[in-house]
Amino acid sequence: MAFGVTKRLVFYCIIATLGSVIYGWEVGMLNIIFSMRSTYGVRFGTFTNNGKGEFVATPSKATRESIITPMFTFGCVFGSILAMSLMDRIGRTKPLALGSFIYTIGSLIQTFSNTIVVFCIGRFIAGIACGVTMVVSPVYIAEITPKNRRGAMGLLFNFNLQAGFFFASIADTLCLKLIKGEAQWRTAVGCQLIPAVLFMTLIWFGPETPRYLLMKNQDEKALDVLAKVREKSKNDQEVIEEYTDMRDKLKAEVTDGVVRWGQLFTNKFYLYRIALCCILQFLHMLVGVNAINYYSSQIYKDYLNIDAAKWGSWLVVINNLFVVVFSIPALKYVEKAGRRKILVLGALVLAICMFLIFLLCLILDKTGHAVFGVLCVICTYIYSVAYGWSWGSTVYVWQSEIFPLRIRSKANAIAMMFQYAGSVLVTGSVSILMKYLKYYTFLIFMAMATIAFIFSLLCIKETKGLSLEDMENLYSIDKKVNPKLRGDQDIKRDIDNAFDIKKC
């Protein structure tokens, strides 16, 4: 039984992934907005006029940027906590709708702010919204997609995330080049209202997932939604088979209800999976992607001697365009290659790229030959494309698949908190690290990518082709610690061994 990709499935997945568009937009916009020295920089105290018509960095620039940047991520942590309680209570689509509304409020506050405090409050509120949507969206996609297409549809999440980066960079670049005065940065920030309003409008067209409806004993409605997404009659034999298999396994799985917090951290079966995803998400950020996302335009200026005012923003646009374009083939090949192989090879490429970026910056610094600057820019492009192909997409796909329904909302939210913790660590420190360590900072990210390579090689199991209900028997530890997987013969053997006098 192998369903294809239907128009409705793609439409519903695109709606859900608008949550990743707003996340990508919010993260991507600061890269170029930080370059608006005479407007944004003066307003928020990162640049000042030296009296010669030049805008130079203030002594507190690194500190201010280290406050502004992670405020969004702090909000994401709170949003993840909120998502935990919402997903099991009101479903998948309603938290996405709530997130779109909260994000719009945060965007408006940022657009009309006049002080760094108000701007940070707006970013914090926007972060709460994205914390909700980044937890819920991958789960929504995994729960409505057939197992043979789950990887490709999951990559839509990353594709739209990268699209958010691209559209933010091109909108901000146009504002930088075409608009003067306060309207320059306010228009650039206000452009994020475009995806926010679009998301807030379209999310109401998305149905609830069949698996959540089954969990709430709305069996008939679950069958109707499944048939609708598959674009077949609910009497179709394949739909009935998928529904019956899904229903029987889920009913058995959630017999005891949703897992409580105490069970979550005392049951080795749950704890092992949560630990894997938490480490995976933490490394997901420590490989250094946000150093490129937030500070690439400054890297081009400070280490590669590229005129940031003239070329910096356009280089960011080209970088994001390459990532979007080269993410398209990944939609086709993820089901063939599998998740584990992509993570392993991706981490290896990221480590190599970070080392080359460091090496080329070092050679350029010692020789002054511009060709090494060009090669370094190319390496940052390769890094971004490799990240988009691998860790930027596959981490979310693997995480959305690995947890049983009874812990899925709590476990996904906990894992996402570790992504945000890693993001706060990177975004809060990279500006200061680059101030004192300069391009040697890239060696730290190379080391983290190497650790990510070793971890994914040794600890990640392949999930390609398995149904969500069959993930419970993925690791060798599962059968030892999960009673639901132990058959009658296993139990009978344990009882016989327990009363075998010869073994006493």
Print the domain residue range for 461: 7-207+260-481
Q: Specify the pLDDT at position 189.
A: 94
What pLDDT shows up at residue 303? 61
Q: Residue 488 falls within a domain, yes or no?
A: no
Q: Per-residue pLDDT averaged across 69-85, rounded?
A: 88
Specify the higher pLDDT residue, 292 or 75. Answer: 75
Q: Report the alpha-carbon distance of residue 30 to residue 27 in Å, rounded.
A: 6
Which has the minimum average pLDDT: 78-92, 199-213, 252-266? 252-266
Domain annotation covers residue 355 = yes
pLDDT at 324 over 50: yes
Q: Above 70 in pLDDT, residue 158?
A: yes
CATH number at residue 354: 1.20.1250.20
Q: Is residue 253 part of a domain?
A: no
107, 135, 441 from 299: Cα distances, Å: 27, 31, 11
Residue among 154, 159, 173, 171 nearest 323 (CA)? 159
Per-residue pLDDT reduced to its tens digit, 436-449: 888 888 999 999 99
How many distinct structural domains can be found in the chain?
1
Q: Is residue 230 part of a domain?
A: no
pLDDT at 495: 34
Q: How far is CA 416 from the centre of its chain?
A: 8
CB 424 within 8 A of CB 73: yes
Q: Tell me, yes or no, whether 501 lies in a domain.
A: no
Question: ∠ at Cα 50 (46, 55), nearest 5°?
Answer: 45
Is 254 part of a structural domain of the chain? no
CA–CA distances in Å: residue 436 to residues 63, 365, 431, 448:
13, 15, 9, 19
Please tell me the distance from the alpha carbon of residue 428 to that of residue 238, in angstroms, as a whole number. Answer: 51
Question: For position 221, what pLDDT does the model report?
Answer: 93
pTM of the model: 0.76
Residue 196 lies in a domain: yes
Residue 215 falls inside a structural domain: no
Give the tens place of pLDDT for each residue, 376-398: 888 888 998 888 888 887 888 88
